[in-house]
Structures are given as structure tokens and as C-alpha cells.
Structure 1
Amino acid sequence: MTRLGYQIPNFTYPGVGPDRLFDVVAQQAREADRSGFDTVLVMDHFYQLPMLGNPDDFMLECYSLLSALARETSNVKLSSLVTGNTYRNPAVLAKTVTTLDIVSNGRAQLGIGAGWFELEHDAFGIEFGTFTDRFEKLEEALQIIISMLRGERASLDGSWYTARDAMNEPPPVSRIPVMIGGGGERKTLRMVAQYADESNIICPDDQIDRKLEALAAHCEALGRDRSEITVSKQKSACIAPTREQAEEELLAYFDRRGLALRDASDEERAPWFANFAWGDPDTVGETYASLLRPGLDGFTINMPANGHLEGRVELLGQTLTPIIG
């Protein structure tokens, strides 16, 4: 279960072309693997997200990448954060995740969500539909996928998907955990309570308690033992040996994104820097420790500013492993 996960959300690095790209990604995964992270997760998108860069920034297909990372790592679970359900037929997705489990010798995890990035749906000719459509699709897909991952033949005559005795042979090496991503209190967290082993919430820090209360209420209504569900929170980091180095690496990241913050005041920088736990190891460790509370088991963390720099992921793992425990 994910208590300390490292997510790789971006694949555009200074001076790195396609020929060296996998080397830099694999370096991050290896550092996570040896420094205490329990899971390595990658984006499942085809275009870069607007909060992280431009649509034409590099983006790798996640399951091909995860299968390659299985050969670069030994300990961490491997997952998307999270699979866009709309992108794949659910029975095919079950086969894909099972194959990842086999090639990684039992280290696959399924992270899944309803899908939301309309631009890439339109560009790739994938039906986007309404908000309600996407959540109805996700619920039907989960019924097929979970049956197949648990060794059952899946059959469903749904509004969106059909399956007829869909088999999944060979079966997974391990019991593949299912993580549902998102913080929607009415739909997403209800599905977590009904179907998932894990919840990954994305929300402002001051909304953590509200999300945990919503999940607990859904569990109670469905008769689910809340303690069966592991909950992690997504929060970005920029760690370096000194505060000054971390600040410089954040500013360089914003430079690459065309945001001129070097000459900005602290007040003008604050909204951008607030998206990160940043600084030296003591400061970053204190930030994450302050967010832990009963019901929140850990974090998924990405480092879009400086995760590509050798040693930074390892430093973060060494800093947070003693805190997460």
C-alpha cells in the first residue's frame, strides 16, 4: 500500500532529448527504489497538463514506461497516478495491469480515475462525454476490472461497457491493489469506499480533514471498514541540501515555464511557491510531518522542478522515510 510514493509527472528536462529521456526517468525511479519510497507512479496522459507545462511538452505512455521501469527497480510498486479510465477498454486495462504485475514479479498497482483532460480526448478522437458520463463509465469499468484482477470471469451488460466471460490468464502474481484518485466528496470517495483498497486525494492542505470525514461517512453508509483503506495525499516538493539551492531550482523551473519570478516580490512569488513543500531537508520534513494525522497514511510526491537532478529524489526519500515510518 502506498505510504510514500514518488510520482514522475513531467518528461521535459533541460538539454534532454528523446535519446536520453528514459535514462533520466530511470535514474529517478532507481533513486526512489533505494531511498525508502514504496511506490513509483507516472502520469497517464498524452499531453502535458496546463499546471505543469505546455501541451507539446514530452509525455510518455505510462504502461510501456512502467514495464520498462520494472527492470530498473527491485522493491517499489509500480502504478499510474492515475489511469484515465476513458483511454482504454476496461478488460484490456485489466490485462495490461496484470502483465505489468508479471513482468515486475508482483509489484503492479492499479491507479484509476474518471478522466478529465478534454483537450487530449478531442485530439486523439476519444469520447469525452459529460461529467456524469465519465463517472458512470468508471463505475462500470471497475466492476469488470476488479473481477478480472481477482481471478473471476467478468460479465457485464452495461450502458457503456460489455464483457462476456472475459478471462484473465495468466493471473497476476500478487493481489493487485486498486487506488482511486481524486477528492470528489460525493462520487469519487463513494467509489473508493465501495471498490478500492486505496484513496489518493488531491486537495488544499486545509481540506484534508473534510475529505477524510467524507470518506468515513461513505464507508459507514456502505458497511465498509474504513481501516481497510489506505489514504495518501498528493503534494509536490522541491528539496535541496540548502534552502538557497531549493529556491534557485524552483526559480529555474519557473523560468523554463516562462514565468518571470526572479525579480518578483515575496508576495508575488507566494502563490506559485505555495504549491510546493520546498527548502532544505529539515524544512521539507517538517512540512510533511505537519500534515500527517489519523486517517492520512502518507503521501504521493512529485518533483517537477528538480526531480531530474541526480540525487534529489534520493534526498527526499531519505528525509521522509523516518517521518512516514
Structure 2
Amino acid sequence: MTKLGYQIPNFTYPGTAPADLFGLVAQQAREADTSGFDTVMVMDHFYQLPMLGPPEFEMLECYTLLSALAQHTSTVRLSSLVTGNTYRSPTLLAKTITALDIVSGGRAQLGIGAGWFELEHDSLGFEFGTFTDRFERLEESLQIITGMLNGEKPSLDGKWYQVSEAVNSPAPLGRIPIMIGGSGEKKTLRLVAQYGDESNLTCPIEEVPRKLDALAAHCERLGRDRSEIGVSVMGRACVAPTHDQAKAELDAALLSRGLDVASMSEEDAENFRALIPYGDPDEIGELFSGYLIDGVTGITVSAIANGHLEGRVSLLGETLAKVVG
């Protein structure tokens, strides 16, 4: 279960050529590996997300990247946050995550969700379908993948997938935990209760208690012990040794995305800065202490503004390790 996860959601860094890109990504993973994080995660997308930049911003394929990061880390688990189920057949995904487990020495984690980025699907030729379609596909995938990861030879004649005695050899080195991403109370959290080891919630913190109640209700109905399931919540942070430094680094990141907060009124500037909480270690620590409400077992955080700067991921890990204990 994730206690403190570090997510890398962007690969567009000022003045960084493609040949130098992996070095900065590996630097972040190495810092996470030695500063208190237990999991390093990357997005499973091919275009940058609308809230983080235009589609043409750099985006590295996640499982190739995770396998490479396995060679630059030694303790953290490695995961997508989260795999878009629509992008790969479940048998291919089971083989892929097993290969990651083997090349990382048993550190793979499967993060998975139904998929949601319609532009990416339409542009690159992945079938999107309806909301119901995507969740039906996800459940069939989970049936196949869990069987393959557990040493079974699953067969399924489903609506979306047909497999016959699917073999997964070599087997994973150990049990690969499954984290299901999303906050839907009827469908997503029911799948967590039935198939997941962890729920990663992507909702405002004030909504988390309601999500936890919904998860508990699904567990009770399905006969699942709720205490077996970890719950992590998502957050963003821009931490630096001083408040003013963090503010300057955040402003530089916003400027690189076309938002010149220096030219705005202070009220408008702070509205944009509020998208990524910033501050010194004490300020960031106090903020995230409020995330650990009863029933939440972990925090996952991204440092989209300044994670590429040397030492910032280390500072973030050291800061939040004190919060999660």
C-alpha cells in the first residue's frame, strides 16, 4: 500500500532537449528513492493532459520509462498512475507488468483505471466508447489480469475480451498489488472493493469521507474486509527552502505555460498559484497533514512546478515523510 508516493506527471522542462530528458526524470526517481517515498509513479498517457499543457508537450510511454527507472532505483515500488485500460489488451498488460516486476526485482505495482481522455483516444485510434463500455471493459480486464498475475490460466468469453487458458510465464517475483484510480462511488469503488489492494482518490479532500463511506459499503456487501484496502489521496506541491523561493519557482513554471502572474493583480495571481500549493517545508507539511483524515493510509504528490530542479524531490520527500510517519 502506498504510504508516500511521488508522481511524475510532466516531462516538459525549460531548456531541456530530448536527449537530456531522461536524465532529469531519473534524477527525480533517485531522489524519491532515498528521501522517504515508497512509490514512484508516472502517468499512462501519450498526450499531455489539458490542465497541465497542450497535447504536444513531451510525454514518455510509461512502461518503457518505468523499466528504465527500475535500473536507477533500488527500494521504491514502480507504478503507473494509472494505466488506461483501453490502451492495451489485458493479457499484454499482465505480461508487461510482470516484466516490470522481474526487471525491478519485485517492485512492480499495477495502477489501473477505465480511461477517460477522449482526445487521446480519437487522435491515436484507441476505441473510446461510452462510460458504461469502459467500465465493462475494465472489469473484464481485472478478471483476466488478476488470474494471470496469481499463477492461474484464466479463460474468459466476455463481451469485450476473449482469452483461453492465458499463460503468464515467467510469473511475477511476488504478489503484485493492484491500485485502482478514480473516485466514482458506484462503479470505481465497487471494483476496488472486489479486486483492488488500494484506492487512489482524485477528488477534493472534503469529499474523501463520503468516498470512504461508499467504499466501506461496497466491502460490506461483497464480504471484503475494508482494512485490507489502502486508500491514498492525490495532491500537488511546490516546496523550496524558503517561501519566497517556492513562490518564484512556481511563478516561473506558470510563465512557462503562458501565465505571467507578475503582470496580474495580486488577487488574480494568487488564484492561479492556488492550483499548486507552494511554500517552505513547514507550510507544505502543515498542508498535507490535513490529508491524513481517518481512513486514509497514504498520500501521493506531484511536484509539477519544480520537481526537475535538483534537490526539490528530496526536500519534498523529507518534508512529507515526517507527516506520514
TM-score (norm 1): 0.98
Matches of 2:313 and 2:43, distance apart in 1: 17
- Please give the secondary structure, in 1, of the residue aligned with 2:314: helix
Aligned to 1:229: 229
- Report whether the alignment pairs 1:107 with 2:107: yes
Q: CA deviation at 1:260?
A: 2.3
Matches of 1:214 and 1:264, distance apart in 2: 42
Unaligned runs of 5+ in 2: none
Structural mapping, 1:3-18, within 5 Å: 3-18=3-18
Q: CA deviation at 1:265?
A: 3.0
Letter matched to residue 100 of structure 1: L
Aligned to 1:90: 90
Alpha-carbon deviations, 1:18-40, whole Å to 9, x = none?
Answer: 10000000000000000010000
- Report whether the alignment pairs 1:205 with 2:199: no
Aligned residues: 325
Structural mapping, 1:1-325, within 5 Å: 1-325=1-325
Q: CA deviation at 1:323?
A: 1.4
**Is the CA contact 2:231–2:296 (under 8 Å) kept in the aligned structure 1?**
yes
Matches of 2:25 and 2:77, distance apart in 1: 16
Letter matched to residue 48 of structure 1: Q
Matches of 1:209 and 1:304, distance apart in 2: 27
Alpha-carbon deviations, 1:135-186, whole Å to 9, x = none?
Answer: 1000000000010001100110000001100000000001000000001111
Letter matched to residue 256 of structure 2: R
- Please give the secondary structure, in 1, of the residue aligned with 2:261: coil
Q: Percent identity?
A: 66
**Is the CA contact 2:233–2:291 (under 8 Å) kept in the aligned structure 1?**
no
Q: CA deviation at 1:303?
A: 0.7
The range that moved more, 119-128 or 69-78, is 119-128
Matches of 1:266 and 1:224, distance apart in 2: 50
RMSD: 0.9
- Please give the secondary structure, in 2, of the residue aligned with 1:91: helix
Q: CA deviation at 1:274?
A: 2.5
Q: CA deviation at 1:212?
A: 1.1
Q: CA deviation at 1:92?
A: 0.5
Alpha-carbon deviations, 1:46-77, whole Å to 9, x = none?
Answer: 00000001100000000000000000000000
- Please give the secondary structure, in 1, of the residue aligned with 2:260: coil
Matches of 2:225 and 2:271, distance apart in 1: 38
Alpha-carbon deviations, 1:2-27, whole Å to 9, x = none?
Answer: 11000000000001111000000000
Matches of 1:277 and 1:318, distance apart in 2: 17
- Please give the secondary structure, in 2, of the residue aligned with 1:179: strand
Letter matched to residue 273 of structure 1: R
Matches of 1:220 and 1:269, distance apart in 2: 46
Matches of 1:176 and 1:270, distance apart in 2: 42
Alpha-carbon deviations, 1:188-245, whole Å to 9, x = none?
Answer: 0111011000000000121111111111111111111110000000101100000101
- Please give the secondary structure, in 1, of the residue aligned with 2:172: coil
Q: CA deviation at 1:277?
A: 2.9
Matches of 1:205 and 1:272, distance apart in 2: 19
Q: CA deviation at 1:271?
A: 3.5
- Please give the secondary structure, in 1, of the residue aligned with 2:241: coil
Alpha-carbon deviations, 1:273-316, whole Å to 9, x = none?
Answer: 23323200000000011221221011111111000000000000
Aligned in 2, Cα 1:36/1:142: closer, same or farther, shift over 3 Å?
Answer: same
- Please give the secondary structure, in 1, of the residue aligned with 2:199: strand
Letter matched to residue 238 of structure 1: C
- Please give the secondary structure, in 1, of the residue aligned with 2:53: coil
- Please give the secondary structure, in 2, of the residue aligned with 1:234: strand
Unaligned runs of 5+ in 1: none
**Is the CA contact 2:291–2:299 (under 8 Å) kept in the aligned structure 1?**
no
Q: List structure 1 segments (4+ residues) > 4 angstroms apart after TM superposition.
A: none
